[in-house]
Amino acid sequence: MRTRLVVANWKMNGSFALLDEMLSILEPLMDKTASEVVLCPPDVLLSSMKSAVEGTQIAVGAQNVHSEVSGAFTGETSAGLLQECGVQWCIVGHSERRNLFAETDEFIRSKTETLLKHGIRPILCIGESLEQREAGKHEEVVIAQLGKGLAGLAVDDQNRCVVAYEPIWAIGTGKTATPEEANSMHKIIRKELESLASPEVAEKMQILYGGSVNAENAETLLSQSEIDGALVGGASLKTAAFPQIVVAGS
């Protein structure tokens, strides 16, 4: 049985005040939900978040990391520093980083390895563009991203990874994949994991859905057999919405 995982990706949004407010609403809900909850705020909030969530069930996540452990990489953050900030999870391969910052599968793969060496669990994002879906290439694209992200990792490392399927056309557009569309893509991903890794890894790995998840659609999406959680953008900044997603289906 896979534990449900709900991850907030604040992107370049939020504030110290919003973090305090969100945590004060989430904390009392944690014993009412079966979900694991991870909040990924911008890096400057991580250290405050580490102190604020101490003793709670809420985990600290980051949105990005550099693959190198240190050096002349102005503006970047190392996995070692993330670890010092109590970071347990980190998003890699988000489509915004792939497209706006030209991150390649190879770079994403090396970030994943660096995170694993620092005891931080990677959340590997994969997903097709609208153009690729309309051309019927979505399965091929997603399978290629998955393979380049995870192939060749040791089994213990694969077991520490989570995959997030985020169709680009559903991100920030209000257009969600239907629960059936999302579930069928998750099935394809899990099937691929069987050959890429092993049936055991495939069975255990949490596959999250992301793309316009909100308080209204969370329950239906999360009730699909192959959807093990959600990676939430816009709605994770709303104190009226994110807590509802956290308790959806509990």
The residue among 120 and 197 lying less far from ligand 13P, judged by its C-beta, is: 120
User: Which is closer to ligand 13P, CB of 193 or CB of 231?
Assistant: 231
Is 145:165 a contact under the CB 8 Å cutoff? no
Using Cβ positions, the residue closest to ligand 13P within the complex turns out to be 233
Closest distance to ligand 13P from the beta carbon of 99 (Å): 12
Q: Smaller CB distance to ligand 13P: residue 193 or 213?
A: 213
Whole-angstrom Cα Rg for the chain? 17
Instruction: Name the strand (E) or helix (H) holding 57.
Output: none
Instruction: In angstroms, give the least distance from the CB of 82 to ligand 13P.
Output: 18
Under a CB-based contact definition with an 8 Å cutoff, are residues 179 and 218 in contact? no
Q: With respect to ligand 13P, which residue has the nearer C-beta, 201 or 218?
A: 218
Three-state SS for 120? Answer: coil
Residues binding ligand 13P (CB under 6 A) = 9, 94, 166, 171-172, 210-213, 231-235
Question: 């978040």: which residue's tokens?
Answer: 49
Question: Catalytic annotation on 166?
Answer: yes
Say which of 36, 66, 94, 192 is annotated catalytic.
Answer: 94
Shortest distance, position 218 Cβ to ligand 13P, whole Å: 11
Smallest gap from residue 25 Cβ to ligand 13P (A): 19
Q: Is 203 a catalytic site residue?
A: no
CB of residue 8 to ligand 13P, shortest distance in Å:
9
- Exactly one of 103, 128, 166, 192 is catalytic; name it: 166
The residue among 9 and 33 lying less far from ligand 13P, judged by its C-beta, is 9
Query: Active-site residue numbers?
Result: 94, 166
